[in-house]
Structure 1
Amino acid sequence: MKYKPGEVSLAVKRLQHRHHRALNRVLAPLGLSLIQWDTLRHLDQHPDASLHDLAVLTFQTDQSFGSLATRMADRGLIERVPGPGRAVKHRLTEEGARLRAAGQHAVDEVFAASFSSLSSAQLDQLGDLLNIALSNDLGGGQAG
């Protein structure tokens, strides 16, 4: 075995950290952090998502995501609408949709540059291997 599981795990974490730094840097001119853009992305894919669903999708606690959602609503990026019972649903505003789309190009460029040294076949293989590793739910997996 060329790599120990801990070494591979650390390499994944380092790549993730590099992506986070680069994504925050390219999204800053839009006035967005990575977590804010990720929220807009998930709301685009899951309109009317609940606070809890968005917290899970963005790897936040319900409490921390609630604070983030309030700030984003105050900025006019998302709106909170009543749902059934006490539930609150979230939707993109026009400005939120515009910034999500504007950020997508910058995000795509970061990822393309990050994986540019891999061939298409290698990138597919990496994706397959990561999906296999992710299928081993360790009892606390979250959606991404």
Structure 2
Amino acid sequence: MHGELQELGRAVKQVQYRQHRALDSALAAVGTTLAQWDALRAISRSPGASARELATATFQTEQAFGTLAGRLTAQGLVERRPGHGRRIEHHLTGAGADVLAAGHKVADAVLAECFAPLPAAERATLLDLLRRLTTHNDTR
């Protein structure tokens, strides 16, 4: 049994790895990386969020996200503002919103290609199964 589970785990990781490589390569054409675009996406979903919240949303450590946010700020894509107490809030600039929008177009095209072998019904089933696993693991 463990062989099948390990094979399943490896297959999920392999699909994720290929998808990330394809996204990172394509996002370079709009002047960003997958990590940067993902950070912009997280900030867009939660304007004013702290580095801790955004690190969790992007599957990074707080330190790694802080370094990334510093680069995005230096590029003029993100603005950091003082919040309550020592909290630093993160907001997209107009340029950041533009890069995010360009990234969405790129990601849509790349992901359409990545999932092209699956008909719409199978993609919906896969999404449902992955959401069930995520929900199950989040309740632990």
TM-score by length of 1: 0.91
Query: Secondary structure of the equivalent of 1:84?
Result: coil
Partner deviation per Cα, 1:59-102 (whole Å, 9 max, x = no partner): 11111111111111011000000100110000000000000001
How many Å separate the matches in 2 of 1:138 and 1:105? 30
Partner deviation per Cα, 1:34-60 (whole Å, 9 max, x = no partner): 000001111111111111011111111
1:136 Cα deviation from its structure 2 partner: 2.5
1:110 Cα deviation from its structure 2 partner: 0.8
Query: Secondary structure of the equivalent of 2:130?
Result: helix
Gaps (5+ residues) in structure 1? none
- Residue matched to 2:128: 128
The answer as to 2:116 corresponding to 1:116 is yes
How many Å separate the matches in 2 of 1:138 and 1:104? 27
- Residue matched to 2:44: 44
- Residue matched to 1:66: 66
Task: Give % identity.
Answer: 44
- Residue matched to 1:5: 5
**Counterpart amino acid of 1:40?**
L
Higher alpha-carbon deviation: 3-12 or 80-89: 3-12
Count of residues in Structure 1 that have an aligned counterpart in Structure 2: 139
More helix by share: 2
Gaps (5+ residues) in structure 2? none
1:135 Cα deviation from its structure 2 partner: 2.3
How many Å separate the matches in 1 of 2:29 and 2:37? 12
Structure 1 segment 73-92 matched on structure 2, within 5 A: 73-92=73-92
Partner deviation per Cα, 1:80-134 (whole Å, 9 max, x = no partner): 0010011000000000000000110110111111111111111111111111222
Higher alpha-carbon deviation: 86-95 or 21-30: 21-30
1:139 Cα deviation from its structure 2 partner: 8.0
How many Å separate the matches in 2 of 1:9 and 1:58? 21
How many Å separate the matches in 2 of 1:29 and 1:110? 12
Query: Secondary structure of the equivalent of 2:91?
Result: strand
Structure 1 pair 133–76 and aligned structure 2 pair: CA distance change class (3 A): same
- Residue matched to 2:102: 102
How many Å separate the matches in 2 of 1:14 and 1:8? 10
